[in-house]
Structure 1
Amino acid sequence: MEAARRQYRQKETTWAPPLQRDPGPWSRLVINWMATLAVIMAFGLVMLYSASYTTGYLRMGDSLHYIKQQILCMAIGIGCMAAMSYVDHRFLRWACKPCYWIVLLMLAATLAFPPLNGCRRWIRLGGLTLQTSEVAKFEMILLTAHLASSAPQIGRFRPSLKEKVRLKDWLFIRIVRQIILPVLPLVPVLVLLIMEPHMSGILLTTAIVGTILMMSGSGGIITWAGAGTAALLLETLLTHVNSIEYLQKRLKTWSDDLEKLNPQTKQSLYAIGSGGLKGLGLGNSVEKQLWLPESTNDFIFSVVCEELGFIGATLIIVLFILFIVQGLLIAYKAENQFCTMVGIGIMAQIAWQVFCNIAVVTNTIPNTGISLPFFSSGGTSLILLLAEMGVMVNIGRNGERAAQQRAADHARREAERAAQEAERASRTINLEDARRAQNGK
């Protein structure tokens, strides 16, 4: 077992050139996935303009204030997406370790800036702001995918049923190598996010890391049991976190009683109820007239429900489901396990943000600030999300190239086998023909 453990210990990645001249061919799956993304982004721009022009005019003196910022950030994000689509995944795997320390320094630097609404979540340089928790999500996706794909698997140590793994070794691999080591880098990130404080960032980052570990098989049943226990005890644990005042306030106002709800959630439910089946019509929302706080960001889905109704809201949910499923298929067909885990992590981030945002505006979970991807205003989030989409494109193209190479190798082997069979058949003497030839003589 010691020899096997040394053989399959976590491999250190080596440096690779950052850019790929040709990541690979475009598959139909990647093209369809990008088409779905384009539809979601276009839908998001339309809804953001509808939800923001009143707020922009009354607060900023420009009804186009929010949409102009969003279009600018989207243009920058598309440029980042194009650039990241040519970044070699081997370079990302090499860079995830040094980048982890840079992210920790950024999170620590955030605490030195003056608070905004009681929280320190942004680095401000001139007129630019950077929300470091968004960078931390991307980094944790890369680092957790690397650690999970590098961890030894139990199956590797028992190539046959005759060899048994001792309980001590099983526990070491399952708990230490597959759970503790991949989770350990998450702890400093969570500590710094607690100091901001940023509860939604904590929940999302933890959920993304947990999803990668569960989908990679790390820890086996132990990870799944731990995730189930955490989900069941989450509310109980949060109610005992007395150090975060705003968290306790939001938990106390999470209720089925409309009168006990906080004003933001109450206005959100009014907007959803007003929309009905078909909605009030695009641009006809009442709640966005400064009744609903954060109508351009965390609660934009409420405006969608009010203006487009149940049909429009369902259409958006279906689009996100289609987008996530297509992304998971791209990850499934990736070149290696690291790329698969990165793809799963990126799609998990989208899925968790969509779920939590819709759950918040419908009062399914307590109010917490989680944006709706590609819909909510916010430059850092949009740019980084589009950069992650570029990584997905690179994974998809490399996966298609690897698949075509495997198909070509398989066809070559089959051709060689057929040629060998034909040659063998040509050298084989048919007994019946030999007897007829002999009798003919």
Structure 2
Amino acid sequence: MGNRKYHKNTADAGTTKYFDYSLLFIIIFLVLFGLVMLYSVSAYEGQDVFNDPFHYLKRQAGCAFLGFIGMFIVSVIPCEWWKKLSFPSYVLSFLMCAAVIVVGKGSNGSTRWLKIGPIQLQPSEIAKIAVIIFMAALLSRIPKQVKDLKSIIKVLLFVLPMVGVIAVSNLSTAIIVGGIAVLMIFVVSPKTKEFFVLGAGLVALGAIGVKMGGYRVTRIAAWLHPEDYPDEVYQTLQGMYAIGSGGLFGKGLGASVQKLGYVPEAQNDFIFTIICEELGLFGAICVILLFVLLLWRCMVIANNAPDLFSSLLVVGVMSHIALQVVLNIMVVTNWMPNTGIILPFFSYGGTSILILITEMGLVLNVSRRIKFDSNHPIE
């Protein structure tokens, strides 16, 4: 990638301070591209429901702006502070997620939000970044102790309460949070076969989580036997029609038919189907490649991080984005049951976009601390 700058470090002759401008450009491009697609997808519903075609765009853009402020602040705060704040942030986010069960605000049959005065937020999104920081701090203290299944399970027990309290009202996010923790442990652990056993255990826990909510059982049954559940599979089928009708290059930006009320709330987790309809297979591949580039730059930063804690922070962010992108695309292409997992940077969600952009500040923070021989630039 180009547009990378290097600043001389006066304290260390012969070394250069690094900042990944390529990553920053990809983040800005993803956010702007996401806003364009969100407006294209949501304008009809915004006009129909709120008499304002810019309703969703304005709210998302406002949260994205706050996210960039958060990203800048997070990128300049010393990493040692995040390590000190890891446990308090974990406890606070846990209490917020628990409060959702008691006094949470519901929407479309799900109770996932807290309303504090004029502010409405989704604590489970905050929990993702809290778990990343907490797990990075924990694993960086005991890297050599995570060497067998028993020790892996002990580490997971620290994050299990968070996963459990989120699963009560939001199983899909609980799966993401649990997946982030497992992938971070996988990077530290020298073992691999133990994770197959762990995977079987997590599947069993997931089955228990499904049984906790009858609608989850119905979603799986509808996925397996769509002909018996026409109402439950309506959104998925309409999304598939959108993907199929896009062809190679799509119908053109803004020309989607399925977004005109056929795909319910298309601006949320099914926005990728409208991208396929308007921009075609070419546009869909471009979106996927953008995420691949983002993850690649994160991997470069993680590999060159100055310490294990910093590296694990980046691994956690990578795990979060990769899991959500893969699971969202699998859902909208009907490779797995509908779970309500949104597409990062594109789907509508104020708390989600704010936390996601702020989270990228952690990666930029680590990139600022990389030092290297100026004769051998980082690639």
SS, match of residue 111 in structure 1: helix
Mapped pair 1:83 → 2:73: yes
Mapped pair 1:43 → 2:33: yes
Alpha-carbon distance in structure 1 between the residues aligned to 2:92 and 2:209 = 32
1:189 to 162, 174, 198: 162
Distance 1:357 1:187, change over 3 A: same
The amino acid that maps onto 1:308 is L
Distance 1:85 1:239, change over 3 A: closer
Q: Which has the higher strand share?
A: 2
Mapped pair 1:225 → 2:196: yes
Deviation at 1:146?
1.6
CA displacement, residues 331-373 of structure 1 (integer Å, 9 cap, x when unaligned): 1110101111110110110111111111111001110111111
The amino acid that maps onto 1:71 is A
Alpha-carbon distance in structure 1 between the residues aligned to 2:373 and 2:154 = 35
CA displacement, residues 68-95 of structure 1 (integer Å, 9 cap, x when unaligned): 1111111111000010001111110111
Mapped pair 1:255 → 2:224: yes
Matched-pair contact (CA < 8 Å) for 2:167–2:173: no
Matched-pair contact (CA < 8 Å) for 1:353–1:372: yes
Deviation at 1:127?
2.9
CA displacement, residues 264-288 of structure 1 (integer Å, 9 cap, x when unaligned): 1011001101111111110011111
Matched-pair contact (CA < 8 Å) for 2:252–2:278: yes
Structure 2 residue aligned with 1:334? 305
Q: Percent identity over the alignment? A: 34
Mapped pair 1:95 → 2:67: no
Q: Which has the larger radius of gyration?
A: 1
Deviation at 1:217?
1.6
Structure 2 residue aligned with 1:325? 296
Deviation at 1:37?
1.6
Deviation at 1:35?
1.3
Alpha-carbon distance in structure 1 between the residues aligned to 2:304 and 2:228 = 50
Distance 1:227 1:281, change over 3 A: farther
Alpha-carbon distance in structure 2 between the residues aligned to 1:360 and 1:97 = 33
Alignment of 1:40-439 (within 5 A): 40-113=30-103, 114-153=105-144, 174-176=148-150, 178-195=151-168, 197-217=169-189, 220-229=191-200, 233=203, 238=207, 241-255=210-224, 260=229, 262-399=233-370, 401=371, 403-404=372-373
The amino acid that maps onto 1:206 is G
Q: Greater shift after overlay, 257-266 or 388-397?
A: 257-266
SS, match of residue 105 in structure 1: helix
Distance 1:239 1:206, change over 3 A: closer
Deviation at 1:404?
4.8
Distance 1:139 1:240, change over 3 A: closer
Alpha-carbon distance in structure 2 between the residues aligned to 1:240 and 1:394 = 36
Alpha-carbon distance in structure 1 between the residues aligned to 2:315 and 2:46 = 37
Alpha-carbon distance in structure 1 between the residues aligned to 2:206 and 2:305 = 38
Structure 2 residue aligned with 1:436? none
Distance 1:102 1:271, change over 3 A: same
Deviation at 1:239?
7.8
SS, match of residue 197 in structure 2: helix
Distance 1:192 1:237, change over 3 A: closer
Alpha-carbon distance in structure 1 between the residues aligned to 2:209 and 2:53 = 43
SS, match of residue 120 in structure 2: strand
Structure 2 residue aligned with 1:163? none
SS, match of residue 221 in structure 1: coil
CA displacement, residues 220-261 of structure 1 (integer Å, 9 cap, x when unaligned): 235422345357x56x95288422111111101113756756
Unmatched tracts of structure 2, length 5 or more: 1-10
Deviation at 1:378?
0.7
Matched-pair contact (CA < 8 Å) for 1:53–1:64: yes
Matched-pair contact (CA < 8 Å) for 1:328–1:344: yes
Structure 1 residue aligned with 2:5? none
Distance 1:91 1:366, change over 3 A: same
Alpha-carbon distance in structure 2 between the residues aligned to 1:77 and 1:116 = 24
Alpha-carbon distance in structure 2 between the residues aligned to 1:250 and 1:128 = 31
Alpha-carbon distance in structure 2 between the residues aligned to 1:306 and 1:385 = 26
Q: Greater shift after overlay, 38-47 or 352-361?
A: 38-47
Alpha-carbon distance in structure 2 between the residues aligned to 1:237 and 1:363 = 19
Distance 1:405 1:285, change over 3 A: closer
CA displacement, residues 116-135 of structure 1 (integer Å, 9 cap, x when unaligned): 33332111023321100011
Alpha-carbon distance in structure 2 between the residues aligned to 1:311 and 1:46 = 17
Alpha-carbon distance in structure 1 between the residues aligned to 2:143 and 2:288 = 38
Matched-pair contact (CA < 8 Å) for 1:87–1:391: no
Alpha-carbon distance in structure 2 between the residues aligned to 1:223 and 1:121 = 33
Unmatched tracts of structure 1, length 5 or more: 1-21, 155-171, 408-441
The amino acid that maps onto 1:96 is S
Deviation at 1:174?
2.8
CA displacement, residues 162-217 of structure 1 (integer Å, 9 cap, x when unaligned): xxxxxxxxxx96344x413321121211221132x211111101111111010112
Alpha-carbon distance in structure 2 between the residues aligned to 1:359 and 1:349 = 16
Matched-pair contact (CA < 8 Å) for 1:45–1:67: yes
Matched-pair contact (CA < 8 Å) for 1:84–1:387: yes
